[in-house]
Structure 1
Amino acid sequence: MAEILSRQKTTIAAGSKVLNSVHGTPKCLVFTSPAVAAWAQNDTFASGLKVPAGSRFLNACSVSHGAMATSVTVDVGIRGFTSGTVIDVDGIADAVSVAAAGRTALNNGSLMVDGLDSVTTEDAEVYVTVEGANPTDNIQMRFEIWYLPPG
């Protein structure tokens, strides 16, 4: 039976070191919705928190939320921390339902799905877009976004 080597094992065997974005101590961004929020479909919700360039998002991201209303979903993306320019509108999560109250995984985004290997190329801010329908006002959300920072 053949043994398949990971990219990391191949790198180590070649005498190179693995990057900190592959092996290190994870960090978590935690941001919460305001106590009063008149939510509307297509609103964005800024975290205001910086993820340094060279970081890798982990599949452990989640949102704890109240019932936002039927058909309401969220995209979780990243944008340039200083510029505000969108890097990926749904890089962490794409159309994740927050209709019923619960704790929901955020790991199907275009930077994370299907074994993709993505590392941020610039300092980034995580932000959320509320989609699908008009959410109920003042419903609370708490996002936990895990990543491996650079060295």
Structure 2
Amino acid sequence: MAEIVSRQAAKIVAGTKLSPHEAAGKKRVYVITSPAAAAWAQNDIFASGVRLPIGSRILCNSYVSNEAMGAGVTLDVGLRDWTTKVAIDADGIAAAVDVAAAGRTSLNNGAFVAAGVEYVTTVVSEIYATLGGANPTDDKQIRIEVCVVTTD
């Protein structure tokens, strides 16, 4: 049986230093919690307010926990540039996740994490979310937990 050499093992054999996001960085959980009262509207955005450093890698074990947000309501979770607030990818972490009914759902279908992709930030970023699909029910609570490997 053949042994396939991982990227990390190949770098070590070549004498190249591994970056923290490749092998042994710190796992952190970035949290976004809705306000106690919110007059939600379709396509409203809410963000973490926390800087995600350059060289961070988004992991695929993130979750959303929410009350019933209302029929047809979906959630996108992505990254935007910390300084300009321009989207890097509005649904790079999770795309069109059903949050109509109360529950806890995995956030792992975005382009940054789906199908074996390893996305590493190239600019200081911020995690943010968008409620779409329909008008969410006011004051309903939602908590997003995004797992990331950072360089520090």
TM bucket normalised to smaller: over 0.9
1:17 aligned to 2:8? no
Q: How many residues align?
A: 151
Once the two structures are TM-superposed, the CA of residue 86 in structure 1 deviates from its matched residue by: 1.0
Equivalent in the alignment of 1:80? 81
Once the two structures are TM-superposed, the CA of residue 3 in structure 1 deviates from its matched residue by: 1.7
Q: How does 1:68-107 map to 2 (within 5 A)?
A: 68-107=69-108
Unpaired runs of 5+ residues, structure 1, are: none
CA distances 1:47-86 after superposition (whole Å, capped 9, x unpaired): 2111111100111111110011122110001111111111
Equivalent in the alignment of 2:57? 56
Instruction: Assess if the C-alpha contact under 8 Å between 2:26 and 2:151 holds in 1.
Output: no
- Residue type at the aligned position of 1:2: A
- Residue type at the aligned position of 1:58: L
SS in 1 for 2:21: coil
Distance in 2, Cα, partners of 1:52 & 1:64: 25
Once the two structures are TM-superposed, the CA of residue 31 in structure 1 deviates from its matched residue by: 2.0
Equivalent in the alignment of 2:135? 134
Instruction: Assess if the C-alpha contact under 8 Å between 2:74 and 2:99 holds in 1.
Output: yes
Distance in 1, Cα, partners of 2:64 & 2:3: 37
SS in 1 for 2:8: helix
Equivalent in the alignment of 2:35? 34
Off by >3 Å, runs of 4+ in structure 1: none
Distance in 1, Cα, partners of 2:13 & 2:98: 43
Distance in 1, Cα, partners of 2:7 & 2:118: 11
Equivalent in the alignment of 2:67? 66
- Residue type at the aligned position of 2:19: L
CA distances 1:59-117 after superposition (whole Å, capped 9, x unpaired): 11111100111221100011111111111111111111111111111111111111112
Once the two structures are TM-superposed, the CA of residue 14 in structure 1 deviates from its matched residue by: 1.2
| TM-score, normalised with respect to structure 2 | 0.95
| TM-score, normalised with respect to structure 1 | 0.95
Distance in 2, Cα, partners of 1:71 & 1:126: 23
Instruction: Assess if the C-alpha contact under 8 Å between 2:56 and 2:121 holds in 1.
Output: yes
Unpaired runs of 5+ residues, structure 2, are: none
SS in 2 for 1:127: strand
Q: How does 1:1-16 map to 2 (within 5 A)?
A: 1-16=1-16
Distance in 1, Cα, partners of 2:35 & 2:67: 13
Instruction: Assess if the C-alpha contact under 8 Å between 2:58 and 2:118 holds in 1.
Output: no
